[in-house]
């Protein structure tokens, strides 16, 4: 049971019903988890080779020789970080409702919170801010994989989106952004008569989703208040926190994937406890991110809300 998505993990026979329900709720709350495969590892670290350059190829004359040109590989090391939280159902809540109804609801609420936490840290995790966490895409994508829309911010255009897509080898599996950016892309396509088009489809949970040139557009936002951490609060390059980013990601075991110890998150229900009046549960997961190819993902930043 490895190298498959969390949604596929949830359907395995050895995953108990409660854990399966929690995992599916996490995936529904985190669009990333619909795509990204999970690689199971032993221990707390994962070392892998990352291609830097392929090396050269030359012509050779009779009696001649080739110029030595070895491909360059850099070994990267990723470590796991633990995320989780406790579920507590107070006796007063049970007495005013019932345990059978309220405990599953509390677990699902915690699962949604976990899904949001995974999404946020996948993009914005920063070990310099929280050394117990991990580095997300914002910290990892540099050089040619960081596309600047314009210092001081710039208005989004279709050419920018296509340049972002072209920065990922092959083609990205999804574009991640806030809802405002998704609507701007739709408006840009609607306003032109070229070959770009928006297609409407449904995700694994029946929600309507859009795609641009065949690439799914996934909105990152909270379901409760529609807020997003991919909002217009990034430095525009001149000191003003008023721009946002769009990410393009290619998922796979040779591209972007997660690492985990133990597979799916651990879901524990400890029942009634002695130290306070109520029932206690816990959800926890040890996970990390691996980017195995330098062109597996890209970020378009400094986009104005204009």
pLDDT value at residue 193: 65
pLDDT digits (tens, 9 = 90+) for 18-69: 888 898 899 989 999 989 999 988 888 899 888 888 888 889 899 999 888 8
Instruction: Between 117 and 53, name the one with better pLDDT.
Output: 117
pLDDT at residue 226 is higher than 60: no
pLDDT digits (tens, 9 = 90+) for 124-150: 999 999 999 999 999 999 999 999 999
pLDDT value at residue 26: 92
Q: What is the average pLDDT across 225-234?
A: 78
Provide the percentage of residues in the chain whose pLDDT is more than 90. Answer: 60
What is the 3 state secondary structure string of the chain? Answer: CCCEEHHHHHCCCCCCHHHHHHHHHHHHHCHHHHCCEEEECCCCEEEEEEEEECCCCCCCCCCCCCCCCCCEEEEEEEECEEEEEEEEEEHHHHHHCCHHHHHHHHHHHHHHHHHHHHHHHHHHCCCCCCCCCCCCHHHHCCHHHEEECCCCCECCCHHHHHHHHHCCCCCCCEEEECHHHHHHHHHHHHCCCCCCCEEEEECCCCCEEEEECCEEEEECCCCCCCCCCCCCCEECCCCCEEEEEEEEECECCCCEEEEECCCCCEEEEEEEECCCCEEEEEEEEEEEEEECCCCCEEEEEEECCC
pLDDT value at residue 153: 93
Instruction: Between 99 and 117, name the one with better pLDDT.
Output: 117
pLDDT at residue 196 is higher than 90: no
pLDDT value at residue 194: 63
**Lowest pLDDT segment from 76-85, 219-228, 288-297:** 219-228
Could you tell me the pLDDT band of residue 159, with boundaries at 50, 70 and 90? Answer: very high
**Lowest pLDDT segment from 7-16, 98-107, 156-165, 274-283:** 7-16
pLDDT at residue 12 is higher than 70: no
pLDDT digits (tens, 9 = 90+) for 99-114: 778 888 999 999 999 9
Domains of the chain (ranges; CATH) run: 4-51+73-303 (3.90.1690)
pLDDT digits (tens, 9 = 90+) for 248-284: 999 999 999 999 987 778 899 999 998 899 999 999 9
pLDDT value at residue 1: 46
pLDDT at residue 121 is higher than 90: yes
pLDDT at residue 75 is higher than 60: yes
Instruction: Between 142 and 94, name the one with better pLDDT.
Output: 142
């Amino acid at each position: 049971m490895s190298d498959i998505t969390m949604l596929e993990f949830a359907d395995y026979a050895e995953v108990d019903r409660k854990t399966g329900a929690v995992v599916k709720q996490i995936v529904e709350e985190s669009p990333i988890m619909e795509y990204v495969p999970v690689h199971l590892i032993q221990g707390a670290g994962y070392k892998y080779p990352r291609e830097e350059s392929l090396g050269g190829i030359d012509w050779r004359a009779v009696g001649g020789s080739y110029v030595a040109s070895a491909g360059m590989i850099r070994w990267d090391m990723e470590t796991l970080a633990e995320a989780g939280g406790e579920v507590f159902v107070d006796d007063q809540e049970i007495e005013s409702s019932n345990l059978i109804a309220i405990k599953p609801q509390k677990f699902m609420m915690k699962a949604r919170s976990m899904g949001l936490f995974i999404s946020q840290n996948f993009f914005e995790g920063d070990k310099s801010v929280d050394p117990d966490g991990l580095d997300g895409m914002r910290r990892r994508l540099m050089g040619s994989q960081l596309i600047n829309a314009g210092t001081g911010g710039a208005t989004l255009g279709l050419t920018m989106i296509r340049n972002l897509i072209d920065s990922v080898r092959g083609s990205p599996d999804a574009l991640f952004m806030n809802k405002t950016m998704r609507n701007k892309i739709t408006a840009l396509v609607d306003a032109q008569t070229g070959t770009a088009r928006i297609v409407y489809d449904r995700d694994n949970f029946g929600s309507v989703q859009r795609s641009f040139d065949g690439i799914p557009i996934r909105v990152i936002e909270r379901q409760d208040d529609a807020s997003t951490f991919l909002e217009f609060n990034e430095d525009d390059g001149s000191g003003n926190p008023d721009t946002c980013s769009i990410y393009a990601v290619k998922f796979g075991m040779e591209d972007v994937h997660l690492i985990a110890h133990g597979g799916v998150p651990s879901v524990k229900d400890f029942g009634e406890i002695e130290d306070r009046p109520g029932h206690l549960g816990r959800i926890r997961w040890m996970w990390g991110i691996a980017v195995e190819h330098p062109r597996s993902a890209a970020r378009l930043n400094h986009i104005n809300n204009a």
